[in-house]
Amino acid sequence: MTSAFVQSMSRAPFSVFSVAWPGPNACGQALSTYSNGTLKAVIQTWRYGASSGIHGLALGKGDNILYSADLNGDSVWAHSLKKEASLVQEIGRWNVVRKGTHPRHLVAHPNGKLLHVLMESGNEVVEVEIDDAGVPVKELSHWSTIPGSPSCYTYRYTVHTKTNDSHRCNTSKLLVR
């Protein structure tokens, strides 16, 4: 297994999160950092589902929730992060509405109420409602990433969320057949 994605907190203690790709038996890890930003130690590991293959990570709700795009499991996981980020705890899992669309990358909206998920096989961005606890609960809408009527082209699609003090971006390459 390899690590497909890495995500760091934008606030102290600046913990770093990584996940295994591909599955089966995907797992994640939290790493602490020294004050200069270099990696210090693995402080926690956790498991996903037996058929999971996590491909994207995003932080939401003030870096207090870690979202994981489960490409193989057709779902999005939510884990709470305690303030010191030494405890990662699963709080929920949302299964996609259209099976086989495969969540690849995701970004949380700064308002803490929406998650935008890029679906690799579905060639779409799905807008998902997040409940007060930070758990994705239902699809609100979806938008095609493919313009018009393509024949066989490769597209690159990027999901951006921008606030006054940060900019998060995820990019995915989509093959249209």
Per-residue pLDDT of the chain (177 residues; tens, 9 = 90+): 566 689 999 888 899 999 987 766 788 999 999 989 899 999 999 999 888 889 899 999 989 999 999 999 999 999 999 866 568 999 999 999 989 889 999 999 999 999 999 998 888 899 999 999 999 999 999 988 877 655 445 555 555 555 555 444 444 444 433
Q: Give the predicted TM-score (pTM) of the model.
A: 0.82
Tokens 């758990």 sit at which residue? 135
Residues contacting 112, CB < 8 A, separation 6+: 60, 61, 62, 130, 134
Task: Give the pLDDT score at 169.
Answer: 45
Q: Which of 12, 48, 47, 58 is nearest to 32 (CA)?
A: 12
- What CATH superfamily classification does 50-175 receive? YVTN repeat-like/Quinoprotein amine dehydrogenase (2.130.10.10)
Q: Determine whether 162 is exposed, middle or buried from the number of CB atoms within 10 Å of its CB (0-12, 13-18, 19+).
A: exposed
Task: Give the pLDDT score at 174.
Answer: 42
CA atoms within 13 A on the CB side of 68: 33
Task: Give the pLDDT score at 50.
Answer: 86
User: Residues 19, 25: contact at Cβ < 8 Å?
Assistant: no
Task: Give the pLDDT score at 155.
Answer: 54
User: Residues 83, 65: contact at Cβ < 8 Å?
Assistant: no
Task: Give the pLDDT score at 172.
Answer: 46
